[in-house]
Amino acid sequence: MLIVIPELDEEQVESTVGRFKTVIQRTGGEVGGVNNWGRRKLAYQIDHRADGFYYVMEFTVGERTLLELKRILRVSDDVLRHIIVKLPPTYAHQPLPEEAFEEESVEAAG
């Protein structure tokens, strides 16, 4: 998962995510699905920013590529936060419905 800075426009955000996809592909990895969650409010401010562009990307890489990808993500000025999680071998990708990404409104009981 990547959280990209909110100051970029949509094209620049896609370019940033595309850079990481290119790194994975050039080093022999495979990129699966890329889910754009859009611009969302952060749980807390990071570097005085209240929101960011969320992307979830599934990929398969070797150990050397993983180390290089982590290094690039760490030094990238366009990425607020990132996390890489190893999925279990039995994981089967099941896309969530769009409704799962919509924020729910909570009404006060009165």
**pLDDT, tens digit (0-9, with 9 covering 90-100), for 41-75:** 999 999 999 999 999 999 999 898 899 899 999 99
Is 82 part of any domain? yes
Is 100 part of any domain? no
Cα separation, 32 vs 21, whole angstroms? 10
Torsion of the alpha carbons at 11, 17, 21 and 26, rounded to the nearest 10: 80
Is 93 part of any domain? no
Residue type at 21 in one-letter notation: K
Is 73 part of any domain? yes
Is 34 part of any domain? yes
Q: Which sign, positive or negative, has the C-alpha torsion 29, 66, 81, 7?
A: negative
**pLDDT, tens digit (0-9, with 9 covering 90-100), for 21-50:** 999 999 888 998 899 999 999 999 999 999
Is 31 part of any domain? yes
Query: Binning pLDDT at 50, 70 and 90, where does residue 94 land?
Result: low
What is the pLDDT averaged over residues 72-93? Answer: 87
Domain residues for the domain of 78 are 2-86
Distance set, CA 27 to CA 19, 20, 67, 71 (Å): 13, 11, 12, 14
Residue type at 88 in one-letter notation: P
CATH number at residue 80: 3.30.70.60
Is 64 part of any domain? yes
Arithmetic mean of pLDDT over the chain: 84
Domain count, the chain: 1
Is 28 part of any domain? yes
Task: Give residue 109's pLDDT.
Answer: 40
Task: Give residue 33's pLDDT.
Answer: 86
